[in-house]
Amino acid sequence: MITEFKGKTAVLTGAGSGFGLECARIGARLGMNLVLVDVQQDALDRAQAEMEAADVAVLARKVDVSDAGQMESLAAAVEQRFGAPHFVFNNAGVGSGGLIWENSVRDWEWVLGVNVWGVIHGVRLFTPMMLAAAKADPAYRGHIVNTASMAGLLTPPNMGVYNVSKHAVVSLTETLYQDLRLVTDQVSASVLCPYFVSTGISQSHRNRPAELADEKPTQSQLIGQAMTDKAVTSGKVTAAEVAQKVFDAMTTDRFYIFSHPKALGNARSRFDAICAAENPPDPFVERPEIGIALRAQLRA
């Protein structure tokens, strides 16, 4: 666990908005060195200006986290400037909706590239640095936080590609936690599983690759986008509140980080069905009107 953040280094992907930006703000208040990573240059520039105005050391890099070469260059730059980081937040992510068979190969590649490969690159590149630092210094403490989603514990319909990517992140991070426990007591990991929080991920199409621009959304994708927009904008939990939960989890070495613990009832019913070898439960049992409306729209 990390109990003292002043002078420590944080690497934050998706730092231009949402959880990444809010964690950067907390890190700045605590006197951390900040490595800000985002694919959107204007958002990155604004975040950099804000953090530099807070009088902390900043390294800002425009990076496509799905690109191995770009991530390797980032890791080298971090090590050269600050040495091994103490807090790595593999947070960059994109959303995608629609019936699972309607997503194109390029849709799959984009979402899995950012949401899964971005986390993989962050883990494979920074973990060895952190372990080396721990071996060299008994006082070193490090923590890796990977952003998944409640969609990594559930299987809500009409958003299959996103579900698959976030289930992968949960599995990856649980395994990372167990692997770290085998080799060190100085580096740990957590997984962030937010529910509907206004972060900008519902507008992921703003960073959609140019080669996907000619793909017109299907009816189910348009419906999924509208439902996500409504759910996200009506959420009462803020990105800043979730960011604080991330720092709280690091100071207590808590693995699972939830923005909406009450949503775990849905996860419990899913796991109960698995253990009982029953068919998947109705995802709309608590809000049947949503299921009725979605079926009506998709069958129209």
Residue 94: which domain range?
9-262
Q: Are 121 and 112 in contact (CB under 8 A)?
A: no
For residue 202, the domain's CATH number is 3.40.50.720
CA 227 to chain centre: 20
Cα separation, 138 vs 120, whole angstroms: 27
Catalytic residue from among 140, 162, 195, 256: 162
Q: Are 97 and 222 in contact (CB under 8 A)?
A: no
Give domain status of residue 191, yes or no. Answer: yes
Instruction: Provide the pLDDT for residue 84.
Output: 98
Give domain status of residue 22, yes or no. Answer: yes
What global pTM score does this model have? 0.94
Give domain status of residue 295, yes or no. Answer: no
Per the structure, the count of domains in the chain is 1
Instruction: Provide the pLDDT for residue 208.
Output: 61
How many Cα atoms within 13 Å fall on the side-chain side of residue 185? 2
Cα separation, 233 vs 236, whole angstroms: 8
Give domain status of residue 299, yes or no. Answer: no
Give domain status of residue 3, yes or no. Answer: no
Q: Which two tokens stand for residue 72?
A: 């390797």
Cα separation, 286 vs 156, whole angstroms: 13
Instruction: Provide the pLDDT for residue 287.
Output: 84
Give domain status of residue 199, yes or no. Answer: yes
In the chain (300 residues long), the average pLDDT of successive 10-residue segments reads 96 97 98 98 98 98 98 98 98 94 95 98 98 98 98 95 97 98 98 86 58 80 86 82 98 97 92 97 89 91
Instruction: Provide the pLDDT for residue 3.
Output: 94
Give domain status of residue 24, yes or no. Answer: yes
Reduce the secondary structure of the chain to three states and give it as a string.
CCCCCCCCEEEEECCCCHHHHHHHHHHHHCCCEEEEEECCHHHHHHHHHHHHHCCCCEEEEECCCCCHHHHHHHHHHHHHHHCCCCEEEECCCCCCCECHHHCCHHHHHHHHHHHHHHHHHHHHHHHHHHHHHHHHCCCCCEEEEEECCHHHCCCCCCEHHHHHHHHHHHHHHHHHHHHHHHHCCCEEEEEEECCCCCCCHHHHHHHCCHHHCCCCCCHHHHHHHHHHHHHHHCCCCCHHHHHHHHHHHHHHCCCEEECCHHHHHHHHHHHHHHHCCCCCCCCCCCCHHHHHHHHHHHHC
Q: Are 9 and 32 in contact (CB under 8 A)?
A: yes
Based on the residue annotation, tell me whether 162 is a catalytic residue of this protein.
Answer: yes
